[in-house]
């Protein structure tokens, strides 16, 4: 096998139950020693992934499910919401009384603290500090927004998507969703990073566990679904490894002969 770059999801892959998996850390260290480039590939924001990226000494990342990609600290792909879509989402969420949080490339913002009833959900993911920015201080042109977190039940998903046609809803909790630009996908950011490294996608690997990893499974030459992924997601990958908590990343990379 000729794998020249490895992309790794975070939650449910490298990270579970509030911590990085030791064997996954060791696996990434071995990839570094073999000079195989590694990139995170996550639905998280840049700031939310920063601690994990630092701990793993990884210089590349795909964030916001593909809306932002950074290769060796250089932004190589960036598709924030338009100002019109940003304002329409703010208006829509306020109209229905749904709490929300907004993400720039480096900040997490809210107009108030009405997200506090959902703090337990955020804490479970070690969510970064949320800055309160009063709405009368808000300048939509100064804060390009890549993602909203909205807090509402599944019954609202279709209405939100029908009302805000430039975005899609990615649900990651019974009470919480990501709102992202329509047609964004992790693989779009990953392809930009591969272009920067001059690596053909057929020589790249992605390991992940979620519905937002399927585009990566299809776009790259090699794909591994975690054992904790649902069966429909496992069916989209070329290979299935053990669950995250059973050293799934380590076993996948070892079976592919990338590490020892």
Each residue's pLDDT tens digit, 27-77: 999 999 999 999 999 999 999 999 999 999 999 999 999 999 999 989 999
Residue 227: what pLDDT?
98
Each residue's pLDDT tens digit, 229-243: 999 999 999 999 999
Helix and strand element counts for the chain (H, E): 9, 16
Residue 137: what pLDDT?
86
What's the CA gap between 253 and 94, in Å, rounded? Answer: 46
Domain boundaries, the chain: 5-78+184-255, 83-181
Residue 142: what pLDDT?
87
Q: Indicate whether 183 pLDDT > 80.
A: yes
Query: How many residues can be counted in the chain?
Result: 260
Name the burial class of residue 175, with classes exposed (0-12), middle (13-18) and buried (19+) by CB atoms within 10 angstroms of its CB.
Answer: middle
Please tell me the class of the 5-78+184-255 domain. alpha beta
Each residue's pLDDT tens digit, 207-219: 999 999 999 999 9
Residue 232: what pLDDT?
97
Q: Indicate whether 145 pLDDT > 90.
A: yes
The percentage of the chain sitting over the pLDDT mark of 90, rounded to a whole number, equals 87
Each residue's pLDDT tens digit, 151-163: 999 999 999 999 9
The candidate with the shortest Cα–Cα distance to 99, out of 43, 18, 184, 179, is 179
Angle between helical axes of 46-56 and 22-33 (0-180°, round to 10): 70
Asked whether the domain spanning 83-181 has the same topology as the one spanning 5-78+184-255, the reply is no
pTM surpassing 0.75? yes
Residue 172: what pLDDT?
86
Residue 17: what pLDDT?
87
Each residue's pLDDT tens digit, 75-102: 999 999 999 999 999 999 999 999 999 9
Statement: 83-181 belongs to CATH 3.30.1240.10: yes
Residue 124: what pLDDT?
84
**Residues 244 and 12 sit within 8 Å (Cβ to Cβ):** yes
Q: Greatest CA span in the chain, whole angstroms?
A: 56
What's the CA gap between 152 and 118, in Å, rounded? Answer: 10
Average pLDDT, the chain: 95
């Amino acid at each position: 096998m000729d794998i020249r770059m490895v992309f790794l999801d975070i939650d449910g892959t490298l990270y579970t139950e509030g911590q990085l998996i030791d064997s996954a850390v060791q696996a990434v260290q071995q990839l570094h020693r073999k000079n195989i480039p590694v990139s995170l590939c996550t639905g998280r924001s840049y700031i939310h992934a920063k601690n994990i990226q630092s701990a793993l000494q990884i210089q590349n990342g795909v964030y916001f499910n593909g809306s932002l990609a950074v290769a060796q600290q250089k932004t190589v792909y960036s598709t924030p919401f338009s100002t019109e879509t940003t304002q329409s989402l703010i208006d829509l969420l306020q109209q229905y009384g749904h709490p929300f949080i907004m993400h720039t490339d480096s900040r997490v913002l809210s107009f108030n603290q009405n997200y506090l009833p959902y703090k337990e959900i955020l804490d479970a993911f070690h969510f970064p500090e949320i800055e309160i920015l009063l709405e009368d201080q808000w300048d939509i042109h100064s804060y390009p927004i890549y993602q909203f977190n909205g807090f509402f039940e599944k019954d609202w998903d279709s209405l939100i998507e029908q009302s805000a046609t430039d975005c899609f809803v990615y649900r990651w909790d019974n009470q919480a969703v990501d709102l992202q630009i329509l047609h964004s996908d992790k693989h779009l950011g990953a392809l930009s990073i591969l272009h920067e490294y001059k690596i053909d996608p057929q020589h790249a690997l992605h390991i992940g566990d979620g519905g937002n990893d399927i585009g990566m499974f299809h776009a790259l030459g090699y794909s591994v679904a975690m054992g904790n992924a649902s069966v429909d997601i496992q069916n989209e990958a070329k290979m299935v490894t053990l669950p995250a908590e059973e050293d799934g990343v380590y076993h996948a990379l070892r079976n592919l002969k990338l590490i020892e």
